Structure 1
Amino acid sequence: MFDDPADEFGEYAHEEILQGLVRSLLTSADLDQLCDEADLPQLTHDDGTPVTVTSARVYRDAGVMTLDRGVWLELSDGSVFGLTVSIARRPRDEVTLRRG
């Protein structure tokens, strides 16, 4: 029997999927490579080595006390960022989920 993706994501499917994509993107390649691909300058330490993402966890796994969905990023330079995924409008039509 196949698992129903709707069971995994529930009514917050858009937010859950987007937070998963952001987390995956930021852990699948080096930050300097992502900056190059986006034609952005690279973040570097004083010694010239690239700043890296040392941790990218969804808010729930990072222990962030919020009901929002998002990704908690920790960088090698000591900085920490929370990227919140918030919905401004729900879809007009029903959306179904399917595995790729």
Structure 2
Amino acid sequence: MIDDGSDDEFGAYAHEEILQAVVRHLLTTADLDQLCDDADLPQLTHDDGTPVTIDSARVYRDAQVMTLDRGVWLELSDGSVFGLTVHIGRRPRGEVTLRRR
């Protein structure tokens, strides 16, 4: 992932890898009910009224999802599991470089 400081790991898949990492980060740094509030959406709740939470958000590679796609594998506290796949609809027109902050 992004942690090791190497830009070589992104290669031709920089857009997918970075978007995958951003989605994973977003979904692991905020509670699902707070994300729903921020987006003005209804909250998912269990039968007892407690909010459904994100138990796990892992990139496909770390979740051992058998695909060549990039994406995030979500496991929720209600037992549901979702895969959010990042697909490229069009490559950038010009050269794109990575800049570390």
TM range (shorter): over 0.9
Q: Which runs of 5+ in 1 are unaligned?
A: none
> Percent identity at matched positions?
84
Q: Is the 8 A contact 1:52 1:76 kept in 2?
A: yes
How many residues get paired?
98
Separation (CA, whole Å) in 2 of partners of 1:4 and 1:28: 21
Superposition TM-score, scaled by structure 2 size: 0.93
Which is helix-richer, 1 or 2?
1
Which residue of structure 2 lines up, in the alignment, with residue 69 of structure 1?
A: 70
CA RMSD of aligned residues (A): 1.2
Superposition TM-score, scaled by structure 1 size: 0.94
Q: Is the 8 A contact 1:5 1:97 kept in 2?
A: no
Which residue of structure 1 lines up, in the alignment, with residue 81 of structure 2?
A: 80
Relative contact order, higher structure (CA 8 A, sep 6+): 1
SS for the counterpart of 1:25 is: helix
Q: Which runs of 5+ in 2 are unaligned?
A: none
> 1:63-90 CA deviation, whole Å, 9 max, x = no partner?
0000000000000000000000000100
Q: How far did 1:6 drift?
A: 2.7
